[in-house]
């Protein structure tokens, strides 16, 4: 169980990519008063946490309502994670989620910081997989999500300082490394889904 806990933590941390989101948060908070920035970060992290928690608890109902199988979710999730990983390995001006332009006169709220920067499609698919696979008790997955959320806070509350100390080049290099790891995880998920589909198809024949 310890291995599953650690693997789940690493997967969700890589998917939400707090280090890769440092430039986005710094840019989005430039027009926010310095005394408000920490509150905005905590609020956006809280919104993302609650959304992912809802998907984790009610994910199986969501799958049942849409008549989606775990196999299709694993394959689709693997594809999405792979595409996100590619954008991490080969950074683009708009970031891994595309353009992140915001109104400079408005304090960012939910979009783009909570969604899709933290609770994006890949993160939602990941927590849905947690709830559908059930390799651990749901309480352990809540603990995983809580630790990941604390990691967001630790990184993003120090975003400006980290960007100054590490510099954009080192942050980009670290994001590429995380992208390489996520690529391997996404391929493993995709192959696992294909293998499960082939096995299920052979059984029905």
Boundaries of every domain in the chain: 2-204
The rounded distance, in Å, linking the Cα atoms of 117 and 102 is 13
The packing angle between helices 70-89 and 159-204, to 10°, is 140
Q: Which of 24-33, 54-63, 68-77, 187-196 has the lowest mean pLDDT?
A: 68-77
Specify the DSSP class assigned to residue 115: I
pLDDT at 103: 46
Mean pLDDT of 28-38: 89
The pLDDT value recorded for residue 128 is 86
Distance between CA atoms of 40 and 145, rounded to whole angstroms? 20
Torsion of CA 175, 84, 43, 24, to 10 degrees: 50
pLDDT digits (tens, 9 = 90+) for 153-178: 999 999 989 888 888 788 778 778 87
Which has the closest alpha carbon to 169: 96, 91, 117? 91
What is the pTM assigned to this prediction? 0.77
**Residue 46: CA atoms inside 13 Å, Cβ hemisphere, count?**
7
Query: In whole angstroms, what is the distance from residue 125 CA to residue 112 CA?
Result: 18
pLDDT at 146 over 90: yes
State the average pLDDT for the chain.
84
């Amino acid at each position: 169980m310890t291995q599953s806990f650690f693997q789940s933590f690493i997967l969700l941390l890589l998917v939400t990519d707090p280090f890769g989101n440092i430039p986005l948060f710094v840019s989005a908070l430039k027009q926010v008063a310095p005394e408000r920035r920490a509150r905005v970060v905590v609020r956006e992290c809280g919104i993302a946490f609650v959304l992912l928690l809802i998907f984790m608890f009610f994910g199986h109902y969501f799958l049942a309502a849409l008549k989606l199988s775990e196999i299709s979710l694993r394959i689709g999730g693997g594809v999405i994670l792979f595409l996100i990983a590619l954008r991490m390995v080969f950074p683009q001006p708009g970031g891994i989620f595309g353009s992140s332009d915001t109104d400079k006169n408005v304090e960012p709220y939910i979009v783009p910081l909570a969604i899709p920067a933290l609770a994006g499609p890949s993160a939602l698919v990941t927590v849905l997989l947690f709830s559908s696979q059930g390799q651990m008790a749901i309480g352990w997955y809540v603990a995983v999500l809580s630790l990941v959320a604390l990691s967001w806070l630790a990184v993003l509350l120090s975003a400006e300082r980290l960007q100054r100390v590490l510099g954009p080049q080192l942050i980009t290099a670290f994001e590429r490394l995380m992208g390489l790891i996520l690529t391997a995880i996404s391929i493993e998920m995709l192959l696992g889904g294909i293998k499960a589909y082939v096995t299920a198809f052979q059984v029905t024949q």
